Structure 1
Amino acid sequence: MNRGVLKNKQTFAGLQIKKAAVIALVFAASLCAVWREDVLAQSSLLLVTTDYPPYVFCEKDAATGIDVVRKGIDVDIITELFRRIGQPYSIQCLPWKRALNKVKEGEAAGVFPGFKVPERETFGQYLNDPLHVGGYSLFVKRGSEFPFKTLDDLTGKRIGIERGHSVTPAFHAAAKAGKFQVEQASKPEHNLKKLLAGRIDAYVNNHQVVLHTVKQLGMMERIAVLPLPVTQWRPSSYLMISNAAALADKSRLVQRLNQCLHEMWQDGTVERITARYL
């Protein structure tokens, strides 16, 4: 075949693919615009979350003493997502285990941000797209670095994690088998202080979360991150809708959330929101 003809066919095929992608995006955008005018017949939905900077910032209200959600990457994404589908909502900040239990019991419509793990899929439905991507790293006191390539390198060590968080099935299986000891704390700053005090040997958590906290606490010169991550960067944080919650038109709600969140990834909204914090 003539190379010029082949090149023209490839160019035409590429243009057709791009054209199809643009049409699909415009169609999705039009759906979300229509849905804003067609609010589902249900009252405001309660979503639950936990303090997890820079994704979720919870602060204690001076008047009530209750933790309230102020801002964050995932909070801003949720705000825009629910605006696009025209659905009223509220967010309650709780310790992570309590947040999960509220969704499990149907007392809350949804929870974020959480890993997609089989155990949780028994009581909730994850959206197709994540709220953010990330990876887990090991943080140590500077000067106390050690070689890390596999979980075997953690043998005999005390590893700090967030209470109620899931790292990987292999990590938790190794801990259960007694290879290393897991110490739980409720917030990143608590684990970092334990690390500096020598009460744990390493701390594993979301790379961006810990770096943000380290910067905020002025610990950049005292904390080091090991080169090899515990988990590779991947879709890591999702909004999950409760199976037990009594929601009107739940299937349509999930369909709309999926469509409009996908649109937000496609049109650059998620990237722009993330860039404001990192």
Structure 2
Amino acid sequence: MLSFRTFWMPLLRLLIAGLSLLLSLSISTQAQALRVGYFDLPPHATQDAAGKASGAAVDMFRLVAQRMGAPTVNFQQLPMPRLLKMLDAGELDAILLLVKNPEREAKYFFPAQSLYQARAGLAVAASSKVTVLPSADALQGMRIGIFLGQYLSPSMRQAGLNLELVGGGQDMFVRNFKKLMLGRLDAVYAPDTFVLRYEAKVSGVAAAIRIVELPEPATPGYTVFNKKDAANLGARYEKALEAVIKERGDYVSAFLRF
């Protein structure tokens, strides 16, 4: 008859080895680099002069990733259509500052808490009589500068608006602010007033303009994951985001400074 040691010890060693392997795989999975995409949207996310990802959303995600057990993050700046295709194909783990719509909500995991609440607005000349917009109807008759491919909030999609289109490019705000200062536009639109303030500052016209919010609800922006990663990355992200906010403060007060 086989002794206890002879029969059970080899099985016990196999069991311990198997558990060790599973544990090491779990640790390796949590510590692997995250692949995160974003579109150019300063001051939230952009590239610095050296081509390195920078901006408030990038800085905050780096801290969240550390809390997730993933100290390395590989960022990629690309146009939104390319980012969505890469997330669908599993070539990205997450996209920063994605706005929710029914199609995206069906495909992707949106955390319970948004990263940021964007408020659409207009930049008008400091001398303008427009100080507040009581309703969307107040936009009628204004010459408003917009950009090619720019997201238009609900107030900006109403019929009859006089929208003047400017092509894309790094100097698109500079060109529209110049038109505003020359009186060729009544306002410059952006779906995020923080973007307007940032661009006005770097363009040197901050003292010459006024920012007026559009009369509509804020639009939340999320860090979004593929649904197949919801139980792993998505759940870890939610816990880590909560911890970072508790420790450092919310996105606007702690990170969105320029």
In the superposition, the TM-score normalised over structure 1's length comes to: 0.67
**Residue in structure 1 matched with residue 68 of structure 2 by the alignment:** 85
Once the two structures are superposed, residues 219-269 of structure 1 have per-residue CA deviations (whole angstroms, 9 ceiling, x without a partner) of: 12322223x54445x5732101134xxx6x542211111111122222334
Q: What is the rounded CA distance, in whole Å, between the counterparts of 1:149 and 1:235 in structure 2? A: 19
Structure 1 stretches lacking a partner, 5+ long: 1-36, 62-66
Cα distance change of structure 1 residues 105 and 266 upon mapping to structure 2, 3 Å threshold: same
Secondary structure of residue in 2 paired with 1:143: coil
Cα distance change of structure 1 residues 195 and 276 upon mapping to structure 2, 3 Å threshold: closer
Cα distance change of structure 1 residues 39 and 178 upon mapping to structure 2, 3 Å threshold: farther
Please say which of residues 99-108 and 120-129 is displaced more in the overlay: 99-108
Q: What is the rounded CA distance, in whole Å, between the counterparts of 2:78 and 2:61 in structure 1? A: 17
Moved over 6 A (4+): none
- Percent identical across equivalent pairs? 21
Tell me, yes or no, if structure 1 residue 194 matches structure 2 residue 183.
no
Deviation at 1:183, TM superposition (A): 2.8
Q: What is the rounded CA distance, in whole Å, between the counterparts of 1:173 and 1:211 in structure 2? A: 23
Instruction: Work out which of the residue numbers 96, 117, 121 in structure 1 matches 2:101.
Output: 117
> Is this contact kept in 2: 1:55–1:72, CA < 8 A?
yes
Deviation at 1:217, TM superposition (A): 2.1
**Residue in structure 2 matched with residue 159 of structure 1 by the alignment:** 144
Deviation at 1:49, TM superposition (A): 0.8
Q: What is the rounded CA distance, in whole Å, between the counterparts of 1:125 and 1:271 in structure 2? A: 20
Structure with max Cα Rg? 2
Cα distance change of structure 1 residues 273 and 154 upon mapping to structure 2, 3 Å threshold: closer
Cα distance change of structure 1 residues 97 and 203 upon mapping to structure 2, 3 Å threshold: farther
Q: Where do residues 61-80 of structure 1 align in structure 2 (5 Å cutoff)?
A: 61=50, 67-69=51-53, 71-80=54-63
Q: What is the rounded CA distance, in whole Å, between the counterparts of 1:193 and 1:130 in structure 2? A: 32
Structure 2 stretches lacking a partner, 5+ long: 1-25
- Superposition RMSD on alpha carbons, in Å? 3.2
Number of equivalent positions = 227
> Is this contact kept in 2: 1:134–1:236, CA < 8 A?
yes
Cα distance change of structure 1 residues 96 and 274 upon mapping to structure 2, 3 Å threshold: farther
Q: What is the rounded CA distance, in whole Å, between the counterparts of 1:84 and 1:53 in structure 2? A: 25
Q: What is the rounded CA distance, in whole Å, between the counterparts of 1:171 and 1:100 in structure 2? A: 26
Instruction: Work out which of the residue numbers 227, 233, 256 in structure 2 matches 1:253.
Output: 233
Cα distance change of structure 1 residues 185 and 125 upon mapping to structure 2, 3 Å threshold: farther
Please say which of residues 253-262 and 145-154 is displaced more in the overlay: 145-154
Instruction: Work out which of the residue numbers 56, 68, 78 in structure 2 matches 1:94.
Output: 78
